[in-house]
Structure 1
Amino acid sequence: MAAVALFSVALATPVLAVQPAEPAPVLFDWFEYTGRDIAFGTPLPEGHYRNPILAGFHPDPSITRAGDRFYLVNSSFAYFPGIPVFESEDLVHWNRIGHVIDRPGMLDFDGLGMSRGVFAPAIEYHDGTFYVVNTAVDSGGNFIATATDPAGPWSDPVWLPTVDGIDPSLFFDDDGQAYLLNNGPPAGEPRYDGHRAIWMQAFDIAKLQPVGPRRVLVDGGVDPSANPIWIEGPHIYRRDGWYYLNCAEGGTGPQHSQVVLRSREVWGPYVPYGRNPILTQRDLPADRAHPVTNAGHADLVQAPDGNWWATFLASRNYGGVHYNTGRETFLLPVEWKDGWPTILDHGLEIPYVAPGPAFLSRRASQAPSTGNFTWRDEFDTPELGREWMFVRVPKQAWADLASHPGRLAIEPLAEGLDTLRNPAFLARRQQHLAFEAGTALQVPAEAGTEAGIAAFQNETHWYFLGARRVAEPVGEGGGEGDAEGGHIELFLEKSSHAGRQVVATRALPATDTLLLKIEGDGGDYAFGFDAGQGWQWLARGQDGTLLSTDVAGGFIGAVLGPHARITQNHER
């Protein structure tokens, strides 16, 4: 399992003469995740691959090639570590090798909603150096980071204070001159809501700063008369004497699309392709089986064999509009027709299974990136696997794998899942519409500590299946208990637009070890437990749509993982 250091935070807490006792850490023995999507059950013929290539909350992919290797980055918003970096030899099998934002001091997301933070990174490789440009929304603005090894370490952010807007990207021309593109406000007053422009400026690679005048390459979109919205995600490529400007248009929802323009000169004028968009799913029947929607935000790359491929985001829906897995990364070949690139002909559905590149590895499985699989973490490595994320940037080391070998020890915090800071919650992506996630934990020994497993979309939309120890014996009608040692209270809590509420509770006999699980199938979620007498359900038929992006809002997908918190019984 690839590993990443838990923290590199140095705490500077003054030593007091008298300090309140810290709650004991909660110990988790293992965490297991299984996906069982019907769409992934289709057999995979030899030489084919499965879409999405990165399932579950991997939006805004950007790709580059260095020699015979490909490198891809995604948005991570307010999660930490930020901006995952993937490597592949065949465009299909991807390994997460690191993160661009992997040191707590690089960025701070405290006070931000989960769908703020780092948006739409763009990666390029030039002359031995990797470059990532990005926007830290509400947390610093546009910046660039560099590395000679894409696995890291990456430089601290170098801020670009003169660049407004979002979605910056770099283009290196054949003469070595670099250019910075981005989405920004139009030159004058916007004519309508969503009216944006694509800007470009020369970029000094030695100083890592833009230079010279900024110019608008596209105002509004490919057809200004139609008032197109949110022209964004620009990338420029050079091929056969043409400069191709590739952009997303229509917003990141069901109207999302990809458009292309070209020019003989890098500064334009850029002329739109007559058959735009080159990728969309907005015109397909809503009642199609296993729909893929929201397709766009594509980036193109040329493989060593001369063929071109596109990575892009799209979502797998249920119920017509819901998607708990967020925006995912897909792959399709690029076909050049009469000097123009096309990703998918109009009216065609994005395939779940497609022919791969000629250099596709013979490895059939793409797990744990996509497909149906079981993934289990025994917490028996020195460091956390890179699959795990933190909600915002941790300010203290509340999790470790060293103090209790073979177990994950989480120090409970006063921060709950509704905080705008960092709760004691480890998150891994929900990658399937139909899934099961479970864990085994040592029930907290102290009253005032609550621990269990959470399904989390953002700070206002989540479920928490937890347990707490109650010192008093169970009263009349309270169920089973131990009159001498008290009992365990199991509870399911949820948060939505209606606020926080307790869905169900149950008293259990005093026990040390408890197994908890969450099962989901589209919008139907169930929450179960095993206290030594086999699996039982605490609550079934729960509304999982509150974890969908369309209900909760924002740009991310649901995540799952262990969580521990303290109540007012502990003073910190």
Structure 2
Amino acid sequence: MSQIQSQLIRYANPILPGFYPDPSIVKAEEYFYLICSSFEYFPGVPIFRSRDLIHWEQIGNVLDRVSQLDLTGQKSSDGIYAPALRYHKGTFYMITTDVRGIGNFYVTATDPAGPWSDPIRIPYGGIDPSLFFDDDGKVYVTAQQGADYDSHAIQYEIDITTGEALSEPQVVWHGDGGPWTEGPHLYKINGVYYMMSASGGTAKEHREIIGRSDQPYGSFERYPEPILTHRHLDHPIQYLGHADLVEDHQGDWWAVFLGVRLTEDGYSVLGRETFLAPVVWSEGWPHIDNNEGIVSLDMKVQRLTMASPSLSQSHTAIVVGRDEFDGELGPQWMFVRNPTEGTCSLTEKPGFLTLYGQAGGLGDVGPITFVGRRQQHIHASFTTCLTFMPVADREEAGLCIRRDEDAHYELGISRLDGRNVLLARLTVRGESNMVHEREIGTDQLWLRIESTEKEYRLIYSEDGQDWTFLCAGSARAISPEDFVHKMCFTGSVVGLYATGNGQASSTPAYFDWFEYSV
């Protein structure tokens, strides 16, 4: 048998660009599977697979029906927090928190592409629950509890078939004295139990810490330094933390974790993204990058030969090109909260996405009509062709870049005071400003938003050839760093929308295609 050779592996970080925070990963037979947080977006918890940890394909979304996830009334950056994915004896388990809904729960599947079960609720924990299957058949939940500097991890045993607690929760981990001990995971590696968590909050002080014990409840000897952070570095990748570990097919270890690519001005519209780095073991401790700069945008890693890439470049998690709206929406598309029946159709007019506006608009927390996907590049353009002839006053449809209710830019067609108009609107820190309004004599327009490091440019055309600039909005104002009323945990999402601005609309908005180009 030939000897396995090591090789220089090169790949680009982040492996999942765009708003894909809080990654969790498992290996199951020939594939790796990875999930991320989804917050107010539906369907929830995107799931990806890969053979080589580098090339990823989205195979679906874990929570894809109302019986699993009801987001009614949930504000942006509420909803689904920090899921954890585990695999045991042929079954996949996804455990998470619906923070303003049913709390902590898990779902199961034998096929990670779905369908997944209805939620099985568990009784204890704040946020960020994780599952651990021990060799003796016991199953433990480890979860965050408390807030700020009082944040810690609790742990208890459950019946994995029912979610019933089999023991009282015990405090097992206090972190390193910093605020927000979050995202705890329990592992057993070479007979040693490891408790790993984030600390410091998900900004510049973010870090990953670890402890070890010969018992699942500890006490855990804490390694004195973070095993992952860039908090002391002037580096293009910041906020590193919220990690999960996985062993590859050759016995090497890796970590996935969130990070942010900040601009020179200290913000990023893309939000928290998923990164990959090797784990190096020394004296029984795993190490990733403690202010050393190992995690880079261009990674070079000497490792044993990996499996051949399973996916062509056209099937990676980076989705560019034109969507003709033939057949079903791809798994990258999502709604703000649960979509209302009858407001979105791909069959009413074949080859078009048909949207009907609801009473709620882009600044409202109630049901709204918005179908979008994550922005994955700082420099990109988003274009659509819209046919819309509003008949009732304030009916509106168009193209939008969205952070949340307080920050979004849109251009489209509306009926105002008996006139059909082309509009451009900028909403910054909850204040909306109509910056362009002009009567038009056509029901068809080409709409485009161009993204740069500094701004979003709103542009339109009446023939798809000659383009007219309308206005520009600050990129910083769309970034999570510019929140006002509550912390923002999401990144920018570009989408197609319709609204009646106070009443339901009976006029269809037809979107012929959507194009994402870089």
Return the offset for 1:445. Answer: 4.7
The equivalences for 1:463-478 within 5 A come to: 463-468=409-414
Return the offset for 1:365. Answer: 6.4
Residue 294 (1) aligns with residue 256 (2): no
Change (3 A) 1:242 1:571: closer
Residue 116 (1) aligns with residue 78 (2): yes
Count of aligned pairs between the two proteins: 494
**Which residue pairs with 2:331 in the alignment?**
386
Instruction: Give the secondary structure class of the aligned counterpart of 1:163.
Output: coil
The equivalences for 1:91-490 within 5 A come to: 91-160=53-122, 162-185=123-146, 193-219=148-174, 221-222=175-176, 224=177, 228-274=178-224, 276-285=225-234, 288=235, 291-348=236-293, 350-355=295-300, 358-362=305-309, 369=316, 374-381=320-327, 383-448=328-393, 449-468=395-414, 488-490=420-422
Could you list the per-position Cα deviations for residues 414-434 of structure 1 after superposition, in whole angstroms to 9, with x for gaps in the alignment? Answer: 221012122111011011111
Instruction: Give the secondary structure class of the aligned counterpart of 2:267.
Output: coil
The residue type paired with residue 163 of structure 1 is: Y
Question: CA separation in 2, counterparts of 1:423 and 1:529?
Answer: 24
Q: TM-score, structure 2 length as denominator?
A: 0.90
The residue type paired with residue 14 of structure 2 is: P
How big is the alpha-carbon RMSD for the aligned residues of Structure 1 and Structure 2?
2.2
Return the offset for 1:397. Answer: 2.5
The residue type paired with residue 557 of structure 1 is: G
Query: Mind listing any 5+ residue stretches in structure 2 that lack a counterpart?
Result: 1-6, 507-518
Return the offset for 1:167. Answer: 0.6
**Which residue pairs with 2:495 in the alignment?**
561
Return the offset for 1:277. Answer: 0.6
**Which residue pairs with 2:455 in the alignment?**
524
Question: CA separation in 1, counterparts of 2:253 and 2:476?
Answer: 37
Residue 71 (1) aligns with residue 28 (2): no
Q: Indicate the larger mover: 461-470 or 54-63.
A: 461-470
The higher radius of gyration belongs to 1
Return the offset for 1:250. Answer: 0.5
Q: In the alignment, which of 487, 492, 496 is matched to residue 428 of structure 2?
A: 496
**Which residue pairs with 1:20 in the alignment?**
none
Change (3 A) 1:76 1:570: closer
Could you list the per-position Cα deviations for residues 149-175 of structure 1 after superposition, in whole angstroms to 9, with x for gaps in the alignment? Answer: 111111111111x21311100111122
Q: Is the contact made by 2:194 and 2:210 (CA closer than 8 Å) also made in structure 1?
A: yes
Change (3 A) 1:570 1:399: closer
Question: CA separation in 2, counterparts of 1:355 and 1:338?
Answer: 24
Q: Is the contact made by 1:526 and 1:537 (CA closer than 8 Å) also made in structure 2?
A: no
Question: CA separation in 1, counterparts of 2:314 and 2:149?
Answer: 38
Return the offset for 1:464. Answer: 1.3
Change (3 A) 1:265 1:105: closer
Instruction: Give the secondary structure class of the aligned counterpart of 1:313.
Output: strand
Q: Is the contact made by 1:445 and 1:469 (CA closer than 8 Å) also made in structure 2?
A: yes
Instruction: Give the secondary structure class of the aligned counterpart of 2:476.
Output: helix
**Which residue pairs with 1:7 in the alignment?**
none
Question: CA separation in 2, counterparts of 1:201 and 1:136?
Answer: 20
Could you list the per-position Cα deviations for residues 478-502 of structure 1 after superposition, in whole angstroms to 9, with x for gaps in the alignment? Answer: xxxxxxxxx7521111222251221
Could you list the per-position Cα deviations for residues 33-91 of structure 1 after superposition, in whole angstroms to 9, with x for gaps in the alignment? Answer: xxxxxxxxxxxx98421111111100100001111211111110111001111111111
The residue type paired with residue 170 of structure 1 is: L
**Which residue pairs with 1:478 in the alignment?**
none
Give the share of equivalent positions with the same residue, in percent.
39
**Which residue pairs with 1:40 in the alignment?**
none
The residue type paired with residue 454 of structure 1 is: C
Question: CA separation in 2, counterparts of 1:570 and 1:294?
Answer: 42
Change (3 A) 1:529 1:501: same
Q: Indicate the larger mover: 425-434 or 314-323.
A: 314-323
Could you list the per-position Cα deviations for residues 395-414 of structure 1 after superposition, in whole angstroms to 9, with x for gaps in the alignment? Answer: 32211111211111111222
Question: CA separation in 2, counterparts of 1:111 and 1:377?
Answer: 30
Return the offset for 1:536. Answer: 3.1
Instruction: Give the secondary structure class of the aligned counterpart of 2:197.
Output: strand
Question: CA separation in 1, counterparts of 2:312 and 2:297?
Answer: 14
Q: Is the contact made by 1:110 and 1:392 (CA closer than 8 Å) also made in structure 2?
A: yes
Q: Is the contact made by 2:56 and 2:317 (CA closer than 8 Å) also made in structure 1?
A: no
**Which residue pairs with 2:510 in the alignment?**
none
Q: Indicate the larger mover: 438-447 or 91-100.
A: 438-447
Q: In the alignment, which of 524, 529, 550 is matched to residue 481 of structure 2?
A: 550
Q: Is the contact made by 1:47 and 1:362 (CA closer than 8 Å) also made in structure 2?
A: no
Q: Is the contact made by 2:245 and 2:256 (CA closer than 8 Å) also made in structure 1?
A: yes
Q: Is the contact made by 1:436 and 1:517 (CA closer than 8 Å) also made in structure 2?
A: yes
Q: Indicate the larger mover: 463-472 or 407-416.
A: 463-472
Could you list the per-position Cα deviations for residues 87-136 of structure 1 after superposition, in whole angstroms to 9, with x for gaps in the alignment? Answer: 11111111111222101232222222110011000010001111111111
Return the offset for 1:144. Answer: 1.2
Could you list the per-position Cα deviations for residues 278-301 of structure 1 after superposition, in whole angstroms to 9, with x for gaps in the alignment? Answer: 11111012xx5xx11111000001
Change (3 A) 1:70 1:432: same
Query: Mind listing any 5+ residue stretches in structure 1 that lack a counterpart?
Result: 1-44, 473-486
Instruction: Give the secondary structure class of the aligned counterpart of 1:211.
Output: coil
Q: Is the contact made by 2:48 and 2:58 (CA closer than 8 Å) also made in structure 1?
A: yes
Residue 536 (1) aligns with residue 452 (2): no
Q: Is the contact made by 2:83 and 2:97 (CA closer than 8 Å) also made in structure 1?
A: yes
Change (3 A) 1:541 1:450: closer
The residue type paired with residue 306 of structure 2 is: F
The residue type paired with residue 549 of structure 1 is: P
